[in-house]
Amino acid sequence: MALDQATKLHLEKELLPFLTLEARGDLKSVAIRYFLELTGSKEGRDFIAEGDKFLKAIASLTCDKEKDISRDAFLTLINLTADEKIAWKLMNTETTFIYDLLHKMLKPDFEFADQASSIIANTTRIAGCASKLACQILEANSKVTMENVVNVLCKVNFNKNATLHYLGLILSNLTQVPGIRKIIMDKDRCIIQKLLPFTEYADSTIRRGGIVGTLKNCCFEYEYHAWLLSEEVDILPRLLLPLAGGEEFDDDDMERLPVDLQFLPPDKEREADPDLRTMLIEAVTQLCSTKQGRLLIKEKNAYVILRELDRWEKDPKTKVACRNLIDVLISDEPQQGMEDLHKVEVPEHLVEKFNQMDLDLLSDFKEELDKKASEEKEEKGEEKS
Partner 1 sequence: MPKSKKAMSDEERKELVERLTADLEDFVAERSIAARNRKATEPEDTRTIDEIAEELKSHPAFMKDIDWSKPLPPEVEGLMQLKYECEDPTARADSYREDGNEQFKLKKYQIAIDNYTEGIKSKSPDAELNAVLYTNRAAAQFHLGNHRSSFNDCLFARKFKPDHFKAIIRGAQCCFQMNKFADAVRFCDAALMVEPENPTVLELRVKADKGMRARERDERKQAAKERKEEEEDRKLLQAIQTRGVQVASMKVSPDSKINPLLLTALESHNPTGAKVHLDDQGHLKWPVIFFYPEYAETDFISAFDEEACFSDHLEHMFGPETPPAPWDEENKYKPSRIEIYFENKDEEKLYRVSPESSLLDALRHKKYLVYAGTPGFIFLVRGSKFAHEFTARYRKH
Residue whose C-alpha is closest to residue 171's, from 109, 254, 240, 102: 102
**41, 136, 163, 193: which one binds partner 1 (CB under 8 A):** 193
Q: Judged by CB under 8 A, does residue 315 bind partner 1?
A: no
Please give the Cα distance from 100 to 103 (Å, whole number): 5
Scanning 52-60, 126-134, 171-179, 256-264 for contacts with partner 1 by CB under 8 A, the matching segment is: 256-264
Least distance to partner 1 from the beta carbon of 241, Å?
11
Please give the Cα distance from 177 to 130 (Å, whole number): 7
CB-facing half-sphere around the CA of 380: CA atoms within 13 A: 6
Residue 351 CB: number of other CB atoms within 10 A? Answer: 10
Q: Judged by CB under 8 A, does residue 379 bind partner 1?
A: no
Q: Judged by CB under 8 A, does residue 263 bind partner 1?
A: yes
Q: Judged by CB under 8 A, does residue 354 bind partner 1?
A: no
First to last CA, the chain: 52
Strand, coil or helix: 207: helix
Q: Judged by CB under 8 A, does residue 265 bind partner 1?
A: yes
Ranges within 201-240 binding partner 1 (CB under 8 A): 231-232, 234, 237
Q: Judged by CB under 8 A, does residue 376 bind partner 1?
A: no
Residue 6 vs 140, nearer CB to partner 1: 140
Please give the Cα distance from 95 to 107 (Å, whole number): 21
In the chain, % helix, strand, coil (3-state, to 5) comes to: 70, 0, 30
Q: Judged by CB under 8 A, does residue 156 bind partner 1?
A: no
What does the per-residue mask of binding to partner 1 show for 91-110, with x meaning CB under 8 A? -----------------x--
Q: Judged by CB under 8 A, does residue 364 bind partner 1?
A: no
**194, 291, 317, 366: which one binds partner 1 (CB under 8 A):** 194
CB-CB contact of 165 with 118 (8 Å): no
Least distance to partner 1 from the beta carbon of 147, Å?
7
Q: Judged by CB under 8 A, does residue 189 bind partner 1?
A: yes
CB-CB contact of 293 with 225 (8 Å): yes
Residue 157 vs 331, nearer CB to partner 1: 157
Residue 88 CB: number of other CB atoms within 10 A? Answer: 17
CB-CB contact of 39 with 55 (8 Å): no
Q: Judged by CB under 8 A, does residue 139 bind partner 1?
A: no
Ranges within 236-255 binding partner 1 (CB under 8 A): 237
Q: Judged by CB under 8 A, does residue 358 bind partner 1?
A: no
Scanning 36-44, 126-134, 188-196, 198-206 for contacts with partner 1 by CB under 8 A, the matching segment is: 188-196
**5, 42, 65, 188: which one binds partner 1 (CB under 8 A):** 188
| Residue ranges with strand state E in 253-381 | none
Contacts of 308 (CB under 8 A, 6+ apart): 244, 245, 247
Least distance to partner 1 from the beta carbon of 381, Å?
31
**136, 151, 163, 324: which one binds partner 1 (CB under 8 A):** 151
Query: Among positive and negative, which fits the CA dihedral 131, 134, 138, 143?
Result: positive
Query: Among positive and negative, which fits the CA dihedral 332, 337, 340, 345?
Result: negative
* Continuous segment of H or E residues that includes residue 13: none
Least distance to partner 1 from the beta carbon of 18, Å?
36
Please give the Cα distance from 221 to 97 (Å, whole number): 30
Strand, coil or helix: 162: strand
Least distance to partner 1 from the beta carbon of 188, Å?
5
**259, 348, 380, 381: which one binds partner 1 (CB under 8 A):** 259
Please give the Cα distance from 223 to 97 (Å, whole number): 35
Give the number of residues in contact with partner 1, rule: CB under 8 A.
19
Scanning 27-35, 71-79, 187-195, 277-285 for contacts with partner 1 by CB under 8 A, the matching segment is: 187-195
Least distance to partner 1 from the beta carbon of 321, Å?
27
Q: Which residues bind partner 1 (CB under 8 A)?
A: 108, 147, 151, 188-190, 193-194, 231-232, 234, 237, 259-260, 262-266
